[in-house]
A and B are shown apart, each in its own frame.
Chain A
């Protein structure tokens, strides 16, 4: 929008992929489980129960902070964040305050092929709360339940500086963040299931020199809703400003049904969380070798991988961009290229046929039965002109559905494909012998006769020969016969 200056900062929470919760040994595998079955005295906050830190949660949080190029603080200190809510069993959340895991990091991402940067203010680790259940309790109305299966699952909180200047930028930044946590294996980053949650601060101004009121947006449950909520909010605040009114500093919720943001019902007074160091947990000094060990486990990250793909495989930016978003897909591509060193061909096939089939079955590449070797074999057959590309696409669909190799699919389907040009040569010679008139016509200058001869070969091969190859063979035979 012209003359509208937008400032956006993100606050992202990711559930960490640990086996056990952050301060007890309960399982974190809570999706679809009966409420309150993955609980113990510790995560239920029963009187007398005490937290014991799960080192794994700390490691994953440190890994995240390192990947975001944060400075790692030498000592991990947990603070209690005190507030009352029924999903918070202890009346406080164990979180971090003035000594987060990491500070002053950088996240790089791309918007329309252009490199962008957002500064990371802090990365810290904390425990998740339970979940209020308002429906399906089978009791009278006005009764809510609390499910504590989620309570105590470790979260990493990533706070950016307000360096983003459009909803598009915010969305791409968030997509990159998800991509990174997935590359790292620290979180599955699923917004719909709530393993990745994003709040945003938005302020809009009509002048580059002034800063608008900070409005916090919550309840955005997909990348699309982040984009739409922010776009709506920018419009709303800009419209107010144009009318000479000022947006108020507040928290607003994204209403997915009505596609609007609405003021939160909660009180607007600043809450005092009375942070203080949790006396149940001693400060943890991060040993240098622990840092080194974690550093060694950080893989090549999406942006680096993209740039390498563009350099090494001469891919265009948009193609490389899509390939690297999913680490598994990028690895599938590379493995395939190793066996069939034609990166452009592989890339085209992966971005069209492979993605099409994955989307159709709502699967990830990891779940697919087609291995890079199997795809390489298929592409090799196309290259050798043994099959045409359209047939290859059909065969791939079958491979994808059944897990069979290309040859197995063809055998099963009774596609007697032509193994060599020699077989085809025989048929070509036979067709030439059987159609002397057409041969004469062609030699007499009628180009159309050649098309008839190609058609005859195709008929004999039941359409399985490559027309281009057939044409070349015919031309060779006809000219050599002269």
Chain B
């Protein structure tokens, strides 16, 4: 077997080969490890490749044998994990200097569930430090590059996971989405990424950035695989008080094709404004025409508070972050810049050298917003805007089943293009932030290519309506029948 054979594979195809005895987990793992060796020096999608443990685990799975009747759905499937998800015995750094060499003594709930489902932890993927960023350039260990064009960013903050999937270094990945960190890199790399309803996936073991917004999301090359992964990681968890007390997602929640054809799709006019690249709008409009032809109804709707969502997000998220990141003080784990002086000096030196510029910027923003005398004007007002944003969506979903929007107003930008101006970078998330603020699910799906760069389409649904969302995503995927990505890494550089 050869990597190229896997280009259009879903997890089910790998399972078929396992079942027929034509492939074994170690063989599959070796193919992906070779792929990583081949291209990751160019991409830098991985911060840590879990080679030895993964190999031992694959061997153990083989020795135990594959029980056909009760075979766990991810048996023998390698999966890449964003480096802000705690993995027992495997470094978890959040791409920060302050957690360099930190090895968690416990597994996140999602990791426990993946392992129970037979998956093999392939490695930890690169990200913006503490998930703060939209390009993976804020990694303390160097940026990840976009497999479609190495001069461009893969998006962020889950850029490593997205790049690993697009380049087929891994067949499955986990990311996390606070304001768009799963969906925007998925769009930039032409793969599928879901931000679940807030509370649908346990956050236990996800290193907190902004607790009221963080959600772990499945990322995959196909909608089908995204569903498979979501079924495994979702569902109640007693270790996370914010996790909804519902059972895991089930495929049974996905409507049939004939129901999808009867759907009304809303187009929020605020998402198709002047600031959006016309080629992106054009590509999405083509898709919408296709949907109409298939019988779906397209209707314009309005989400009037969209423009305030971004501003409110940059109050709320940094506020929570300033508190969540207080624990990195050099006392118990991670980096400590000791030496002479007082305790205060140690804190100051550790945090000065351990955090990158963007993380410091957000800690300062958040500290300011929560300060006495400013709390009401900033944090409290931010939370009020959040309510208005959520109500916008509630109203829209009275008129339609789902919303379709662009994921990003722009194509993957060049490395360094937006790093000078943080606000420019923040604008990259303008279409992913409102749904995150509302706590509702949204999925990014590739809907075409312009100049060999993917265009991401976002489907937004009401709370806990992932089933409806997947229904349309599956329908679209089939309707578009786009080739799955497998760019020639490094070949396009001179074009």
Measured CB to CB, the residues of A under 8 A from B are: 41, 44-53, 80, 82, 84, 86, 89-92, 146, 272, 274-276, 279-282
Residues of A within 8 A of B347 (CB): 84
Residues of B within 8 A of A90 (CB): 326-327
Residues of A within 8 A of B184 (CB): none
Q: Which chain B residues numbered 202 to 228 have a C-beta less than 8 Å away from chain A? A: 203-208, 210-212
Question: Among B50-58, B148-156, B238-246, B249-257, which stretch is in contact with chain A?
Answer: B238-246
Measured CB to CB, the residues of B under 8 A from A are: 84-86, 92, 94, 99, 102, 104-106, 108, 203-208, 210-212, 238-242, 319-320, 322-323, 325-329, 331-333, 343, 347, 367, 370-372, 375, 379
Task: State whether A50 touches B92 (Cβ < 8 A).
Answer: no
Bound-state CA distance A46–B329 (Å) is 12
A/B interface sample: 20 pairs, CB < 8 A: A46-B86, A46-B332, A48-B86, A48-B205, A48-B206, A49-B204, A49-B205, A50-B242, A51-B241, A82-B326, A82-B370, A89-B327, A91-B326, A91-B327, A92-B323, A274-B322, A274-B367, A274-B372, A275-B370, A279-B211
Residues of A within 8 A of B92 (CB): 47-48
Closest chain A CB from B77 CB (angstroms) = 24
Task: State whether B208 touches A276 (Cβ < 8 A).
Answer: no
Residues of A within 8 A of B204 (CB): 48-50
Residues of A within 8 A of B371 (CB): 272, 274
Task: State whether B99 touches A48 (Cβ < 8 A).
Answer: no
Residues of B within 8 A of A80 (CB): 323
Q: Which of B84, B212, B327 interacts with A279 by CB under 8 Å?
A: B212
Residue of A nearest to B319 (CB): A276
Bound-state CA distance A433–B416 (Å) is 125
Given A41-B106, A276-B370, also A47-B327 (CB < 8 A)? yes
Residues of B within 8 A of A146 (CB): 331-332
Most chain A beta-carbon contacts within 10 A, residue among B205, B211, B241: B241
Most chain A beta-carbon contacts within 10 A, residue among B206, B319, B326, B343: B326
Task: State whether A91 touches B323 (Cβ < 8 A).
Answer: yes
Task: State whether A47 touches B241 (Cβ < 8 A).
Answer: no
Given A47-B102, A274-B323, also A281-B212 (CB < 8 A)? no
Residues of B within 8 A of A46 (CB): 86, 104-106, 332-333
Bound-state CA distance A281–B205 (Å) is 16
Residue of A nearest to B108 (CB): A48
Bound-state CA distance A86–B98 (Å) is 17
Interchain Cβ contacts within 8 Å, total number: 105
Residue of A nearest to B383 (CB): A277
Given contacts A48-B85, A281-B242, 19 further A-B contacts (CB under 8 A): A45-B327, A46-B332, A47-B86, A47-B99, A47-B102, A47-B104, A49-B204, A52-B241, A82-B322, A86-B343, A91-B323, A91-B325, A91-B329, A92-B323, A272-B371, A279-B242, A279-B320, A280-B208, A280-B241
Bound-state CA distance A275–B376 (Å) is 12
Task: State whether A47 touches B207 (Cβ < 8 A).
Answer: yes
Task: State whether B238 touches A52 (Cβ < 8 A).
Answer: yes
Task: State whether B327 touches A41 (Cβ < 8 A).
Answer: no
Closest chain B CB from A7 CB (angstroms) = 26
Give 6 nearest A-B pairs by CB, closest first. A91-B326, A279-B212, A279-B211, A274-B370, A47-B207, A48-B205
Residues of A within 8 A of B203 (CB): 48, 50
Given A279-B211, A279-B320, also A50-B327 (CB < 8 A)? no
Residue of A nearest to B213 (CB): A279
Residues of B within 8 A of A275 (CB): 370, 375
Closest chain A CB from B318 CB (angstroms) = 12
Most chain B beta-carbon contacts within 10 A, residue among A86, A89, A274: A274
Residue of B nearest to A80 (CB): B323
Bound-state CA distance A281–B241 (Å) is 6
Bound-state CA distance A29–B37 (Å) is 51
Residue of B nearest to A280 (CB): B211
Bound-state CA distance A44–B332 (Å) is 8
Task: State whether B332 touches A45 (Cβ < 8 A).
Answer: yes
Residues of B within 8 A of A51 (CB): 241
Residues of A within 8 A of B86 (CB): 46-48
Closest chain A CB from B414 CB (angstroms) = 32
Most chain A beta-carbon contacts within 10 A, residue among B92, B102, B347, B370: B370
Bound-state CA distance A170–B106 (Å) is 48
